[in-house]
Chain A
Amino acid sequence: MSSPSSYYIPHEAKWPIVGSIALFTFFAGFASLLNGGSWYLMAIGAAILVYMMVGWFGEVIAESENGTYSAQVDVSFRMAMMWFIFSEVMFFGAFFGALFYARTFSGPWLSGIGEGGASATNAVLWSGFDYVWPTNGPQKLGGSYEPMSWLGLPLINTALLLTSGVTCTIAHHAIKHGDRAKMVKFLLATCVLGFLFVGLQILEYWEAYSHLNLKMSTGIYGSTFFLLTGFHGFHVCMGAIILLIVMFRGTRKHFSATNHFAFEAAAWYWHFVDVVWLGLFIFVYIL
């Protein structure tokens, strides 16, 4: 805990209300779209949201560069980022939980393995179903398919993401020594690797849909596969965009050896995305 002589408090925040209106429009629009409406409202919501983020972050960046923030504010920012990432971990935890539950409990139960009503469930409802992971269930929802192999694209993607973790760390060491040019160079490498990952992920999805007949509707395997990798891919996208912004800030002479929290927050986020991928690679692809 820092011990300030006086406190810093910002006054008048106009962006939050813009953010609320943006999210409201976006959610209402998305829901109407799902109910068969048009996509306009959702697009407007997304546009306002982007406007809000550009404006709000822009202001915070300006204040940071003006030296408005005290050491205490810096600590608050760090804590906020840390616990935000923890909340993200729990979000992925829900989907990993669904994967483990389906694989260890409901799958075997459907094929009659387990105590209590499992054998009756199998005999009466799903007679003849033999559980082997991956599965699209007793009714073979989505038709016959091939599972995604961990060799090939996923393995390349693992290498890409792990390498990007290294380049990100090199960039971090560079800025810690005040070498802004080196930081920008290695951040560029990190972003390229990140976007390459997203590109290959899209290729992998295309492969799955057009050659393997592996879709979101391919039973519980397709559900867990696409939601876990999909939300991860979305986070990689976000992380890469954040790193890109940090890189551009670097080219504008932002950050110093002692003052570069935005970089660190982005790097934490990037490593978090990295670790989630390792979990995915092991539990979704290999095992």
Chain B
Amino acid sequence: MSTAAAGHHDHDDHGPAKGWTRWLYTTNHKDIGTLYLLFSLVMFFIGGGMALIIRAELFQPGLQLVDPLFFNSMTTMHALVMIFGVVMPAFVGLANWMIPMMIGGPDMALPRLNNWSFWIMPFAFLLLLSTLFMEGGGPAGGWTLYAPLSLQGGDSFAFVIFSIHFMGISSVMGSINIVATIFNMRAPGMTLMQMPLFVWTWLITAYLLIAVIPVLAGAVTMLLTDRFFGTSFFNAAGGGDPVMYQHIFWFFGHPEVYILILPAFGIISSIIPTFARKPLFGYASMVYATGSIAFLSFIVWAHHMFTVGMPLAGEMFFMFATMMISVPTGVKVFNWIATMWRGSMTFETPMLFAIGFLVMFTIGGLSGLMLAITPADIQYHDTYFVVAHFHYVLVPGAIYSIMAATYYWLPKWTGNMYDEKWGKIHFWVSTVFLNVLFFPMHFVGLAGMPRRIPDYSLQFADWNAVASIGAFGFGFSQLIFVYVIFKCIKGGEKATSEVWEGADGLEWTVPSPAPYHTFEKPPAQFS
């Protein structure tokens, strides 16, 4: 390594290192971004497979395929994998690829730390997934790991706790890197209010991560000591309180929800102006709205706990604070609509996914508003209505934004255009099945079907069968996504530098594929 450091000038003008160790030792933001994205894609199918096991069991009432404990560990693991293994790494991968290019920087500010942030992830998930093969099975108390239930797990318990610590280390290092990159590596002359919105949303997301991941680490450490070292944080007999776990957890958990969606807002804010061929409507208000959402995310956590027992003043405060979030979110939605208003619109695949995001994320947002109403939530709590709500914000929200981003920037990454026909087929098949999958959950939820139970009452049978058909359709249609990606990597029509007619931003000024080192000297546009 010291030789590499001494001789680094020799490398500067060349491409990547030779051999497979390139991927192990790389400090290049594009390599690391690719690794993150591929990791996320693999985990998407693992987490998706778990979801299909859940939906297969729920295809009809009664217990038929898996035993209830395994079913519970599937719901737990599905959530952990999708949140920490799919959505977060995908956004970090996109940040790695795009932020240095968007701000005219040479690379991330701390390239070696960047490598470590990624290479922790496969090991952390090895630790987590290995618990499925242990005595007593994987964690089965829900991804929130509520005490006292989670404390009663088998051998898996300690492994799950440590895998969360492990992922947390990666997230905090990755976020510190992003903050340092955005503040320190911008092209000379580029002010904060000239940054693309994807950079802005990631900056704010990184702050959320640095602030709340350590709190999660603290919460799970308390679980660990309660189980193994005799402490009583969550034990009322010793003066503690199991509800305290929920407070600490959701102090992390609610900002986490915005960690999963703010970068998506940034992506959509890049794509819609391109295909509407108009600048983004209300750039400054978008920035302030993102900041407001981030601030509010710290003071709404107990809306996850309305039924747990809380002073009335607390219930009222958290209800109104939650409703306030719809104001900055509404600003964003209306800005996107205003951007499209009287634009010269075309509907390539990224735009289809962006519009799909806009419509279906808003459905999820509105059901969230329903859940925010405390008296109503006492009816909805822990039903499939909640499952429908957060899947509408996460799947056609976060996941669709990641897919939109992939189609949008794939030509820049590979130098080839993707297959537009199959991209569009992917969008339409996914969107139809997705609604078949998640929309009926609203109905069974309002009718009272509880979540996280492998069996259900007969009156829920029809809609569950429909949802399961949608699940398998949605799951298998993602193979089209993989096909389009790999086909594009292998070849296709050559992409121009600008790729899209209406595209704006520094990343479209460099050739496609983007050279291994994008800006070795600062670009002059802003000085």
Contacts and interface: CB of A to CB of B under 8 A. Distances in A.
Contact of A106 (B6, B221, B222, B243): B243
Contact of A84 (B176, B229, B230, B239): B176
A30 B158 contact: yes
Nearest to A133: B239
Residue of A4, A216, A220, A222 with most partner-chain B CB within 10 A: A220
Contacts of A27: 127, 159, 162-163, 165-166
Given A80-B176, A101-B244, A23 B1 contact: no
Given A11-B4, A13-B27, A79-B180, A110 B158 contact: no
A223 B214 contact: no
A146 interface: no
Interface in A54-107: 56, 59, 62-63, 66, 68, 72, 75-77, 79-80, 83-84, 86-88, 90-95, 97-98, 101-102, 105-107
B17 A12 contact: yes
Contacts of B166: 23-24, 27
Nearest to A95: B218
Contacts of B248: 94, 97-98
Contacts of B341: none
Contact of A125 (B218, B236, B251): B236
B311 A137 contact: no
A154 interface: no
Interface in A103-132: 105-107, 109-110, 114-117, 125-126, 131
B119 A1 contact: no
A128 B106 CA distance: 67
A10 B8 contact: yes
Nearest to A63: B5
A197 interface: no
B154 to A, nearest CB: 9
Contact of A9 (B27, B122, B218, B222): B27
A151 interface: no
Interface residues of B, number: 92
Given A17-B25, A215-B230, A216-B229, A9 B115 contact: no
Contacts of A5: 521
B210 A87 contact: yes
A14 interface: yes
Contacts of B212: 90
B193 interface: no
Given A16-B115, A17-B119, A59-B5, A31 B238 contact: no
Contacts of B24: 14, 17
A156 interface: no
Nearest to A23: B166
Nearest to A28: B127
A34 interface: yes
Contact of B158 (A35, A79, A137): A35
Interface stretch (B69-77, B183-191, B269-277): B183-191
Contact of A91 (B115, B214, B239): B214
Contacts of B11: 11
A223 to B, nearest CB: 4
Contacts of B230: 142, 215-217
Most B CB within 10 A of own CB, among A9, A110, A116, A131: A9
Contacts of B123: 20-21, 23-24
Contacts of B378: none
B225 A90 contact: no
Nearest to B16: A11
B226 to A, nearest CB: 8
B432 interface: no
Contact of A139 (B115, B231, B238): B238
Q: Which of A11, A17, A115, A125 has the most CB of B within 10 A?
A: A11
Contacts of B519: 7
A83 B222 contact: no
A223 B231 contact: yes
A141 interface: yes
B241 A79 contact: no
Given A17-B119, A75-B184, A137-B232, A116 B311 contact: yes
Nearest to B219: A94
A137 B211 contact: no
Contacts of B487: none
9 contacts: A12-B27, A16-B112, A16-B115, A27-B159, A102-B241, A105-B241, A137-B238, A217-B229, A223-B226
Given A12-B27, A91-B218, 10 more contacts: A17-B24, A17-B25, A20-B116, A35-B158, A79-B176, A83-B176, A91-B215, A105-B241, A136-B239, A220-B233
The 7 closest A-B pairs by CB, nearest first: A94-B218, A137-B239, A217-B230, A16-B116, A106-B241, A223-B231, A7-B106
Interface of B: 1-2, 4-6, 8, 11-12, 17, 24-27, 105-107, 109-113, 115-116, 119-120, 122-124, 126-127, 155, 158-159, 161-163, 165-166, 169, 172, 175-177, 179-181, 183-186, 188, 210-215, 217-219, 221-222, 224-226, 228-233, 235-241, 243-244, 247-248, 251, 309-312, 517, 519-522
